[in-house]
């Protein structure tokens, strides 16, 4: 057993690191998880107990050797794609007991849970862990990925309990042998009081100004000079950190975090490389854990409001038909019903907008729409004037006809097909299948139009030259119009199609279902996950797990397709629905 924890060739930490508080802060992909797992490896080498709370789904890799084949560390993996046993949202306290009672290291992979289940689990887990450790003071280190989720700067509603539990662990845990590592790409969203408890801060590459401001605040709080280092953060290479530990280690130095011994699961897989499965624990051990878990799940079911309601209904039925039965039995049934009915009602935490608020929001939206219309109209008039003022090349003659288009003009009409339609059959020969599909794509969205990249996706034509040629031909024929960056079929265009238009999506769900048809299964599942998460972004790791698309080449291809169709965009926090204005 080594008597120090090696982080890099130049940095070792004393064994009491296990009960200290750390933070790894940096932008996505800078090496936070990698560095924190390196630290975890050091602690495991020192035979310390570690637990990782992992909503990202990468910590299971500690059980696999770096080559992806051999055995890594012995730890229990709960939940996620690689778990020995699945997790129940109600199982937080049970898992805390298991970890304290058996003294085992574990990865708690909550990447499969929905947001609320994740929080519920984490709250129960943290409360019970703290409570139990008070009586059992052996060292344990808790790693918390996406710390801003579990230790938020601003706790809303129920989150207060969760924040309280994690704050206890971080502020008081040391007295009971608990250390913690907070990992986050959004230092400004992590609770400041908790972050200020950090004894050692690893900061890797950081670009955002909010992020750097938050870091500077931390450093000032610790009473050290910071400015030049904060300025250096955007240029740090991946895997290089500044370590600040003013009181515990009395250090401020640059560290290149060393290679991990275990598997780097978040590395982009090499094409053709086998998928690696973690090696399971012993059969006996697992059977025991599973039995215990099943018992807890049974207990949890006994408290489930739906199951309770069902039982009450069943008992009442029994009572109704028990008229002549044994009075003792009837009394027993009655008591049970009374007992069940006396339980507190199901808690519902969904915020609901009142009618007034809905109306107010509607009014705001309308005003905004009107303003946008006015601006777009104005811009179009400017564009139109410029065209008229400048010399109009003969080839562009139809442009002169173009009045500022209004979207309604483009909707299918019942009136007689205008003059141009008479030429439709003649035009028929002129337009190739691709151009026709472009026109159909425009015709399908008469209300909101489509952007050019969206047409490319819908009409399945090659972007670039091919698309421009077709689109140019349709424009010259007066069959399509561009209005505020969106393309519409004109009434001439519609007449030309002569009703050969796929069904027009009318509701938000329609629009999304229409788009779903365009993608292969994996990309479609990714779109579904992103729609479901709206308005919140989904991290790539999360998206990969929830859509069941391994985070590699295919994943990037699919995400690229969704992005090119302008349905999805991505920021530092992940992918989000870009056509959100629909919802």
Ligand X SMILES: Nc1ncnc2c1ncn2[C@@H]1O[C@H](COP(=O)(O)OP(=O)(O)O)[C@@H](O)[C@H]1O
Interaction site with ligand X (CB under 6 A)? 26, 28-34, 238-239, 257, 259, 264, 266-267
What tokens appear for 186 in the block? 């959004």
In the complex, least distance from residue 143 CB atom to ligand X, rounded to whole angstroms: 12
Shorter beta-carbon distance to ligand X: residue 266 or 475: 266
> Terminal CA-to-CA distance of the chain, rounded, Å?
57
Q: Which residues of 322-338 are buried (b: 16+ CB within 10 A; e: fewer)?
A: eeeeeeeeeeebeeebe
Q: How many Cβ atoms sit within 10 Å of the Cβ of residue 383?
A: 12
Shorter beta-carbon distance to Mg ion: residue 489 or 541: 541
Residues that bind Mg ion (CB under 5 A): 33
Q: Name which of 340, 342, 321, 341 is nearest 330 in CA terms.
A: 321
Q: How many Cβ atoms sit within 10 Å of the Cβ of residue 177?
A: 17
How many helices (H) and strands (E) in the chain? 22, 15
In the complex, least distance from residue 515 CB atom to ligand X, rounded to whole angstroms: 29
DSSP SS3 for 177: coil
In the complex, least distance from residue 517 CB atom to ligand X, rounded to whole angstroms: 34
CB-CB contact of 147 with 182 (8 Å): yes
Helices (H), 173-208: 192-195
Question: 179 pairs with which residues across the strands?
Answer: 141
What tokens appear for 360 in the block? 């107010």
Shorter beta-carbon distance to Mg ion: residue 33 or 551: 33
Q: What is the CA radius of gyration of the chain?
A: 31
Shorter beta-carbon distance to ligand X: residue 152 or 239: 239
Q: CB under 5 to 8 A by kind: which of ligand X, Mg ion, none does 338 bind?
A: none
Shorter beta-carbon distance to ligand X: residue 251 or 259: 259
In the complex, least distance from residue 65 CB atom to ligand X, rounded to whole angstroms: 16
Q: CB under 5 to 8 A by kind: which of ligand X, Mg ion, none does 31 bind?
A: ligand X
Q: CB under 5 to 8 A by kind: which of Mg ion, ligand X, none does 148 bind?
A: none
Shorter beta-carbon distance to Mg ion: residue 66 or 322: 66
Dihedral pair phi/psi, residue 179, rounded to 5°: -110, 165
In the complex, least distance from residue 345 CB atom to ligand X, rounded to whole angstroms: 42
In the complex, least distance from residue 566 CB atom to Mg ion, rounded to whole angstroms: 27
In the complex, least distance from residue 204 CB atom to Mg ion, rounded to whole angstroms: 11
Shorter beta-carbon distance to ligand X: residue 123 or 206: 206
DSSP string, 60-112: GGGGBBTTSSSB----EEESSTT-SB---GGGHHHHHHHHHHH---EEEE-TT
Torsion of CA 40, 45, 50, 56, to 10 degrees: 30
Q: CB under 5 to 8 A by kind: which of ligand X, Mg ion, none does 238 bind?
A: ligand X
Shorter beta-carbon distance to ligand X: residue 195 or 456: 195
In the complex, least distance from residue 143 CB atom to Mg ion, rounded to whole angstroms: 11
- The span from the CA of 130 to the CA of 122, in Å, is 12
How does DSSP classify residue 460? Answer: T
């Amino acid at each position: 057993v080594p008597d120090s924890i090696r982080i890099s060739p130049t940095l070792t930490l004393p064994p009491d690191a296990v009960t200290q508080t750390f933070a790894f802060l940096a932008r996505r992909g800078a090496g936070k998880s990698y560095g924190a797992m390196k630290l975890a490896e050091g602690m495991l080498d020192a035979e310390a107990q570690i637990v990782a709370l992992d909503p990202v789904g990468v910590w299971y890799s500690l059980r696999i050797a770096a080559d992806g084949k051999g055995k890594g560390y012995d730890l229990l993996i709960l939940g996620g794609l690689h778990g020995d046993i699945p997790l129940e949202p109600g199982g937080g306290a049970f898992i805390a007991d298991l970890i304290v009672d058996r003294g085992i290291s574990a990865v708690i992979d909550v990447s499969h849970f929905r947001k609320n289940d994740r929080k519920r689990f984490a709250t129960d887990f943290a409360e019970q862990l703290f409570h139990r450790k008070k009586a059992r003071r052996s060292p344990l280190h808790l790693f918390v990925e996406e710390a801003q989720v579990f230790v938020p700067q601003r706790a809303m509603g129920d989150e207060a309990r969760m924040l309280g539990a994690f704050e206890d662990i971080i502020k008081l845990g040391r007295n009971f042998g608990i250390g913690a590592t907070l990992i986050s790409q959004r230092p400004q969203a992590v609770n400041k009081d908790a972050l200020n408890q950090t004894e050692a801060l690893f900061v890797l590459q950081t670009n955002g100004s909010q992020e750097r401001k938050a870091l500077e605040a931390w450093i000032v709080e610790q009473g050290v000079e910071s400015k030049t280092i904060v300025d250096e953060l955007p240029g740090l290479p991946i895997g290089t950190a500044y370590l600040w530990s003013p009181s515990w280690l009395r250090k401020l130095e640059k560290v290149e975090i060393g290679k991990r011994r275990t598997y780097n699961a978040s590395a982009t897989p090499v094409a053709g490389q086998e998928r690696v499965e973690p090696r399971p624990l012993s059969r006996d051990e697992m059977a025991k854990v599973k039995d215990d878990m099943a018992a807890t799940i049974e207990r949890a079911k006994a408290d489930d409001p739906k199951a309770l309601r069902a039982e009450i209904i069943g008992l009442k039925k029994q009572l109704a038909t028990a008229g002549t039965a044994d009075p003792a039995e009837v009394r027993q049934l009655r008591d049970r019903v009374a007992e069940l009915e006396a339980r507190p009602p199901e808690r519902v935490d969904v915020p609901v907008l009142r009618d007034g608020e809905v109306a107010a929001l509607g009014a705001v939206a309308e005003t905004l729409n009107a303003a946008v219309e006015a601006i777009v109209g104005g811009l179009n008039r400017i564009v139109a004037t410029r065209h008229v003022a400048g010399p109009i090349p003969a080839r562009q003659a139809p442009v002169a006809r173009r009045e500022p288009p209004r979207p309604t003009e483009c909707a299918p009409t019942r009136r007689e097909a205008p003059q141009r339609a008479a030429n439709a059959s003649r035009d028929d020969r002129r337009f190739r299948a691709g151009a026709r599909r472009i026109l159909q794509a425009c015709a399908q969205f008469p209300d909101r139009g489509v952007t050019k990249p969206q047409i490319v996706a819908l009409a399945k034509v090659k972007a670039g030259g091919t698309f421009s040629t077709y689109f140019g031909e349709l424009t010259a024929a007066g069959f399509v119009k561009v209005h505020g960056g969106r393309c519409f079929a004109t009434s001439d265009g519609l007449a030309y199609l002569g009703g050969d238009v796929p069904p027009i999506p009318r509701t938000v769900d329609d629009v999304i279902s229409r788009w779903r048809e365009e993608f292969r299964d994996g990309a479609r599942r990714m779109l579904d996950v992103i729609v479901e998460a709206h308005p919140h972004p989904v991290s790539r790791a999360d998206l990969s797990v929830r859509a069941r698309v391994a985070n590699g080449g295919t994943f990037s291809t699919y995400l690229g397709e969704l992005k090119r169709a302008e349905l999805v965009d991505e920021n530092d926090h992940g992918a989000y629905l870009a056509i959100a204005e629909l919802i």
